[in-house]
Chains A and B, each alone.
Chain A
Amino acid sequence: RKEVEQDPGPFNVPEGATVAFNCTYSNSASQSFFWYRQDCRKEPKLLMSVYSSGNEDGRFTAQLNRASQYISLLIRDSKLSDSATYLCVVTSRANSGGYQKVTFGIGTKLQVIP
Chain B
Amino acid sequence: NAGVMQNPRHLVRRRGQEARLRCSPMKGHSHVYWYRQLPEEGLKFMVYLQKENIIDESGMPKERFSAEFPKEGPSILRIQQVVRGDSAAYFCASSPRQGNEKLFFGSGTQLSVL
Contacts and interface: CB of A to CB of B under 8 A. Distances in A.
B45 A43 contact: no
A41 interface: yes
A38 to B, nearest CB: 8
Given A32-B101, A100-B101, A102-B101, A43 B106 contact: yes
Contacts of B43: 44, 87, 104
A80 B91 CA distance: 26
Given A44-B105, A45-B105, A99 B42 contact: no
Contacts, number: 50
Interface of B: 33, 35, 41-43, 45, 48, 55-56, 89, 91, 98-99, 101-108
Interface of A: 32, 34, 41-46, 49, 87, 89, 91, 94, 96-97, 99-107
